[in-house]
Amino acid sequence: MIEVSDGAAIPRRKDAGLFSAWRISFAGAILILVYLAVSQPDPYYEILRFIPDGILVTFQVTICSIFFALILGLITGLGRISRNRIVNSAASIYVEVVRGIPLLVQLFYIYYALGRFVRLPDMVAAVIAMSICYGAYMGEVFRAGIESIHKGQTEAARSLGFNQAQTMRYVIIPQAWRTILPPVGNEFIALLKDTSLVSILAVADILRRGREFAAESFAYFETYTVIALVYLIITLILSKLVSHLEERYNHYGPG
């Protein structure tokens, strides 16, 4: 006979993570940054003082883009499951085309190629390109989330008298949100990292600010070390936030 304990000896997952990869990376990045800034204020502290404006811009681009990408994604996701052939094909073609073109090329296209017809401000062009690109990815995330909800939910709502749109709004989307949240969180982080591409336009994001600093000081090694660490710290914080949200929405019910 095997004696079964009540599980008290089994460490909980959270305790086991004291030396998790996340903690090591996060603490390591912070420590290195602080050490460098204190031990060699010139140039590290100077770089750190120069970059924050860029962090703000990076966040602006990220948040504006994610906002439009979510709207575009929801529309695309609904289009992809639509039984209307025209709507469905339009959404599918959009996804196929956008996924087949590198983001950098899309950025160039909207800024330079279309610049022949309309000269968009850098920031606007950046947000448009990021939104269009990530809208397609979000569309697929939304589609998968909506399709993961059991058909019985739609039938129950429709049998009560809800029309298709009301069924989506009150019954399907609130439930699909749970499935959608983790991948949306990941897309959000991926988008933040990809905003570094907009530095090739004249958008003064983190990377752009770094390039400016490096060009003047010739401190390429130092500058890009700081830039890498700053991106790392931001994405690590975000990924922690996303996994907290995931846990919170992981079940229905009190608590």
The residues that touch other proteins, with contacts defined as CB under 8 A, are 150, 152-153, 155-163, 166, 170-171, 174-175, 251-254
Specify the residue, 96 or 155, whose C-beta has the smaller distance to other proteins.
Answer: 155
Specify the residue, 154 or 235, whose C-beta has the smaller distance to other proteins.
Answer: 154
Rounded to whole angstroms, the Cα distance separating 126 from 149 reads: 35
The least distance separating other proteins from the CB of residue 160, rounded to whole angstroms, comes to 4
Q: Which is nearer to other proteins, 150 or 244 (CB)?
A: 150
> Which two structure tokens, joined as six digits, stand for 255?
């608590």
How far apart are CB 53 and other proteins at their closest, in Å? 42
Q: Which two tokens stand for residue 252?
A: 């229905």
Q: CB nearer to other proteins: give 168 or 206.
A: 168
CB of 250 to other proteins, least distance (A): 12
- In the 3-class helix/strand/coil scheme, how is 76-124 assigned residue by residue? HHHHHHCCCHHHHHHHHHHHHHHHHCCHHHHHHHHHHHHHHCCCCCHHH
Q: φ, ψ for residue 225 (rounded to 5)?
A: -65, -45
Burial tier of 9 (Cβ tally within 10 Å: 0-12, 13-18, 19+) = exposed
Cβ distance to other proteins smaller for residue 224 or 249: 249
Supply the minimum distance, in Å, between the C-beta of residue 42 and other proteins.
56
Shortest approach of other proteins to residue 79 CB, angstroms? 22
Torsions phi, psi for 248 (to 5 deg): -65, -40
